[in-house]
Chains A and B, each alone.
Chain A
Amino acid sequence: TTIMAVEFDGGVVIGADSRTTTGAYIANRVTDKLTPVHDRIFCCRSGSAADTQAVADAVAYQLAFHSVELEEPPRVRTAARLFQQSCYRYREELSAGIIVAGWDPRRGGQVYVVPMGGLLLRQPFAVGGSGSSYIYGFLDATFQPGMSRSQCQEFVAR
Chain B
Amino acid sequence: SPMVTGTSVLGLKFSGGVMLAADTVGSFGSLARFRGISRLLKVNDSTVLGASGDLADFQHLRQLLEQMVIDEELLGDGHSYSPRALHSWLTRVLYNRRSKINPLWNTVLIAGVYGGESFLGYVDMLGVAYEAPSLATGFGAYLAQPLLRAELERDRDRLPTREEARELLERCLKVLYYRDARSFNRYEVATVTEKGVELEGPLTLEANWDIAHVV
- Tell me, rounded to whole Å, the shortest Cβ–Cβ distance linking A136 to chain B: 7
- Tell me, rounded to whole Å, the shortest Cβ–Cβ distance linking B39 to chain A: 12
CB <8 Å contact, B3 and A116? yes
Residue from the list A88, A115, A120, A123 in contact with B28, Cβ < 8 A: A115
Assembled-state Cα–Cα distance A20/B182 (Å): 32
Assembled-state Cα–Cα distance A151/B6 (Å): 33
CB <8 Å contact, A119 and B3? yes
B15 contacts partner chain A, Cβ-Cβ < 8 Å: no
Residue from the list B1, B4, B60 in contact with A115, Cβ < 8 A: B4
Count of residues in A whose CB is under 8 Å from the partner chain: 13
Residue from the list A119, A123, A133, A136 in contact with B56, Cβ < 8 A: A119
B33 contacts partner chain A, Cβ-Cβ < 8 Å: yes
Pairs across A and B, CB under 8 Å, 12 listed: A88-B56, A91-B3, A115-B3, A115-B33, A116-B3, A117-B2, A117-B4, A117-B54, A117-B56, A118-B59, A121-B26, A121-B37
Q: A117-B56, A119-B4, A119-B59 are contacts. A133–B31 as well, Cβ < 8 Å?
A: yes
Residues of A within 8 A of B2 (CB): 117
Within 8 A of B (CB), among A77-103: 88, 91-92
CB <8 Å contact, B60 and A88? yes
Assembled-state Cα–Cα distance A115/B59 (Å): 13
CB <8 Å contact, A121 and B3? no
Residue of A nearest to B55 (CB): A119
B89 contacts partner chain A, Cβ-Cβ < 8 Å: no
B130 contacts partner chain A, Cβ-Cβ < 8 Å: no
Assembled-state Cα–Cα distance A116/B54 (Å): 11
Assembled-state Cα–Cα distance A136/B31 (Å): 10
Residues of B within 8 A of A119 (CB): 3-4, 26, 55-56, 59
Going nearest first, the 5 A-B pairs with the smallest beta carbon separation are: A117-B3, A119-B56, A117-B56, A118-B56, A116-B3
B178 contacts partner chain A, Cβ-Cβ < 8 Å: no
